Amino acid sequence: MSHDRPAYYRPSRYHFAILLATLVAILPWTSAEAREIDLIVIHATGGPGCKQGKLWHAPGGTLSAIRRYFASNPNISYHFLIGRDGTIVTGTPETQIAHHARGHNSHSIGIELVNDGNGKDPFPEAQIETLIGLLERLARTYHIGPSQVRGHSELDDRSFDCGGKRYKQKIDPGGEFPGSEGNFPWKRVRDALR
């Protein structure tokens, strides 16, 4: 038949552009992969707040509850979430930006620990062992030293007013809450990376 297209098919520039855009969107070699990681930020899932003029502390929750919370809040994310029992869950791929530490997202990996983050809630051994194993791998992959592993509280100085007093908003992974010296094992964690 004369109205059929020839045995070969030459796609138009439009078709080529659509194909290229689709490939760029779905393949893992987009520009996000080329970002340079020079910081790992440790978080706790709990934190301080103010209710009816009184300081209170949001509990850290459970692994499944925290996963649901992050899934329903698209403006915040993590790369890794570690439960109290050492279970590790991946969130945003390492090659992509997670929204976890204002001003540092583009060059960091964010690790959430299920913990009240009040400097009193203990970090179980299984959780810390998993964290250290993960940090060792990330340190090798991204050439990260102990000084490049920081707490969220070290990077975010925002505060809030409650009952006429100012309080630091980000105190995680575990400390600086009024009446607490902090209990995150920084020395042990950083020594593991030496």
- Residue 6: phi and psi, rounded to 5, are -65, 170
Confidence band for 149, pLDDT divided at 50, 70 and 90: very high
pLDDT digits (tens, 9 = 90+) for 158-193: 999 999 999 888 888 975 544 455 789 988 999 999
Average pLDDT over residues 142-168: 93
Mean pLDDT of 5-32: 45
pLDDT computed for residue 45 by the predictor = 94
Q: What is the pLDDT of residue 64?
A: 94
Instruction: Collapse the DSSP code of 69 into the 3-class scheme (helix H, G, I; strand E, B; otherwise coil) and give the result.
Output: helix
Ordered strands of the 80-82 beta sheet: 88-90, 80-82, 108-113, 39-44, 149-151
CATH architecture of the domain covering 36-191: 3-Layer(aba) Sandwich (3.40)
| pLDDT grade for 20, boundaries at 50, 70 and 90 | very low
Confidence of residue 11 (pLDDT cuts 50, 70, 90): low
> Could you tell me the pTM of the whole model?
0.79
What's the token pair of residue 130?
């998993």
pLDDT higher than threshold 50 for residue 28: no
> Two tokens at 32?
């996000």
Average pLDDT value for residue range 8-30: 45
Distance CA 146, CA 187 (A): 10
**What is the model's pLDDT at position 131?**
98
User: What is the average pLDDT score of the chain?
Assistant: 83
CB 144 within 8 A of CB 92: no
Distance CA 51, CA 89 (A): 31
For 21, the token pair is: 């855009």
Helix (H, G, I), strand (E, B) or coil at 173: coil
Distance CA 91, CA 109 (A): 11
**Domain chopping of the chain, boundaries:** 36-191
Return the top range by mean pLDDT from 49-58, 82-91, 149-158.
82-91
Closest by Cα among 121, 110, 105 to 46: 121
Secondary structure (3-state) at 87: coil
